[in-house]
Amino acid sequence: MESAENPPQSSPHSVPPPLVFMRFRPAWAYIDGIREFGRFFCQTTFGTQELADRACVVIQETLENAVKYSSNTADSELELSILSDGQSIEFSVSSLPDQKHLDSLRNELNGLQTLDPEQAYLAAFIRASNEPDASARLGLARIRYEGGVELSMKEEAGGRVRITATGKL
């Protein structure tokens, strides 16, 4: 039986069912509450403060991006899921972004993945320092470095985009 003391296990070849699945309107006001739920959930389920802190960064920054760039339509709800196979943890956020944002998101992710997470975070700081009037663009680099995860992006039917952050437990 699953419990906080016995986190769910699955066989290596199956996709584990989500431990958490949430669907909600893309509103900034929800982010704090969902982040703190994620902290509580990871602390309670996996028993480590370190993972709980990493979860906070991943959830905060992925949801901020999703909310900022969501299209303003009736089907633009966000989905957050958290999965684990007992070895790794996966945070996944699906959104319906404004299409003009897609290219910059793709470029940002591709650029990040040419550097290791620490180098990419330092590079993002340098860029922010050199471009004081531009938006910060620290979030994705922060997710990788501070969250201890790798990021991937998948374009889905209907214009939806799924950002997935996967890391070790």
Residue given tokens 């979030």 in the structure block: 139
Q: Give me 96's structure tokens.
A: 């319906």
Sketch the per residue contact string, 111 through 140, with other proteins: x for CB under 8 A, - otherwise: ----------xx--xx-xx--x---x-xx-
Q: Where are the alpha helices (DSSP H) in 23-148?
A: 31-46, 49-69, 102-112, 117-130, 139-147
Name which of 32 and 155 has its Cβ closer to other proteins: 32
Mask for 64-103, x = binds other proteins (CB under 8 A): x---x-----------------------------------
Instruction: Annotate each residue in 14-43 with x if it binds other proteins (CB under 8 A) or - if it does not, as one string.
Output: --------------x--xx--x--------
The least distance separating other proteins from the CB of residue 151, rounded to whole angstroms, comes to 14
53 part of the interface to other proteins, by CB under 8 A: yes
| The two structure tokens encoding residue 146 | 């501070």
| 3-state SS assignment for residue 108 | helix
Per the listing, tokens 């009037």 go with: 133
Coil, strand or helix: which one is 130? helix
Which residue, 2 or 50, is less far from other proteins as judged by CB?
50
